[in-house]
Amino acid sequence: MNRVTLCLSRAIARVTGSALGPYQTAVVRIGFAATWLLFLLREYPHRQELYGPDGPWDLGLAQRLTADNHAFTALLASDGQAFFEAFYALAVLTSALLLVGWRTRTMSVLFMVGVLSLQNRSVFVGDGGDNVLHLMSFYLVFTRCGQVWSLDARRAARAREGQEQRPGTDLVGPALWTVSGVLLVAAALTGRSGGGWLVPAVLWGTWAGTALWWAVGRWARSADPRILLDVVADVLHNGALFVIMAEACLIYATAGWYKIQGSRWQDGTAVYYPLHLDYFSPWPALADLLSANGTLVLLVTYGTVIVQVAFPFTLFNRRVKNVLLAAMMTEHAVIAVVLGLPFFSLAMIAADSVFLPTAFLLWLGGRAARARDRVPRRRAPALPSARSAEADEQPRVGFGA
């Protein structure tokens, strides 16, 4: 009984004492932000047909649909062209800022609003990758995804070294909080806060929690309130991280078990057919080359089912899990090229990244930092300083540190 109590207390201390998987959540943040940013840029010439007020799925149809399914979308607040263009530009900007990790708490919320609003505006133009991005954008709001590999992490490191402004003098954070509050109040007063209650509740909760965090950091006389807020943030982060992992396992398990029931997957010919669909054949010669080998089609068909069904059970064995994880990422990369589904593949690879081992991510970060350091930089003219030349030559804390 004592051993059980001891293990339980250690587990509770681990969950409440730190935000687990900082590198994994950073990779998930970068992956999904990059996926959405590339999608918005690629579809910029077609934005009107996809989500604009003059598209086939007009405002009236969108309002009728959201009235039934209570989906959140801020694009129903106005059918004006200027509003849509500004919102689309904001979605691009917040995706880029989340990618580099600038004010990740605020950017993750705005990123979620952009994803949900655009996707729920025209729900019939997406695919499986959009569904994954839809879910993960919501979960990212609850994570502390800017602990490493972000501009926030670099700013925090400089603050600890005394190179940044003193705590409590930050003007950007309060400005973002004020603007967000004005928009939330305006949406509430005009009744244009979107469908349903969950997303508006998250928006208001995040806004109020940010104000509480700032007030405690500035005016609390003891460390106890800040410690309590850190515990709450860690619990929310770890819970969201667990949900992201469970969601990825559920996606693969569901897909695998449904495939088992299909006759084409049972006889080993299922992969052959999408290779010959015009919609999924950007490289017909490559598709013909792959489908001409019956043994290869059989192995890929059965291998896909085996990997998807077995993956959730391999999480208890690190080596087997890493092998299957590499196989699944390779499969998605092949799908991106052969079937012409780059954004679906990027979304799935970003979801798979939550299972990458920390040692590999540290090695990858080190390689990225060394590659960055090889890029020549323009040196600013030297200014008079009391520091010695040796101190001026000390390495800076950078993005890949």
pLDDT in 10s for each residue of the chain, 401 residues? 678 788 888 888 888 889 999 999 999 999 999 999 999 999 999 999 999 988 888 888 888 888 888 899 999 888 889 999 999 999 999 999 999 999 999 999 999 999 999 999 998 888 878 999 999 999 999 999 999 999 999 998 988 887 555 545 678 888 999 999 999 998 888 777 667 789 999 999 999 999 999 889 888 888 888 999 999 999 999 999 999 999 999 999 999 999 999 999 999 999 999 998 888 888 889 988 988 999 999 999 999 999 999 999 998 899 999 999 999 999 999 999 999 999 999 999 999 999 999 999 999 999 988 888 887 765 545 444 443 333 333 333 332 33
* Structure letter (DSSP) for residue 315: G
Residue bearing tokens 């800022």: 97
Whole-angstrom Cα distance, residue 269 to residue 398?
A: 50
Q: Is residue 275 part of a domain?
A: no
Residue bearing tokens 């052959």: 272
Closest CA to 147 of 14, 11, 24: 24
The answer to whether residues 349 and 38 touch, using CB atoms and an 8 Å cutoff, is no
Q: Is residue 271 part of a domain?
A: no
Q: Is residue 28 part of a domain?
A: yes
The answer to whether residues 245 and 279 touch, using CB atoms and an 8 Å cutoff, is no
Looking at 18-167, list the stretches that DSSP marks H as alpha helix, in order from N- to C-terminal side: 22-42, 47-51, 59-69, 81-100, 104-121, 128-140, 151-160
What is residue 142's three-state secondary structure? coil
Query: Which residues touch 248 (CB under 8 Å, ≥6 apart)?
Result: 351, 352, 354, 355
Residue bearing tokens 């970003």: 350
Q: Is residue 286 part of a domain?
A: no
Domain range for 141 is 19-154+194-247
Residue bearing tokens 């051993």: 3
Tally of domains within the chain: 1
Q: Is residue 226 part of a domain?
A: yes
Whole-angstrom Cα distance, residue 151 to residue 155?
A: 6
Q: Is residue 99 part of a domain?
A: yes
Q: Is residue 268 part of a domain?
A: no
Name the residue type at position 258. Answer: Y
Q: Which two tokens stand for residue 72?
A: 């959140």
Q: Is residue 389 part of a domain?
A: no
CA dihedral 191, 196, 198, 200 (to 10 degrees): -20
Whole-angstrom Cα distance, residue 167 to residue 3?
A: 43
Name the residue type at position 359. Answer: A
Closest CA to 108 of 187, 196, 228, 209: 209
Supply the pTM of this predicted model.
0.90
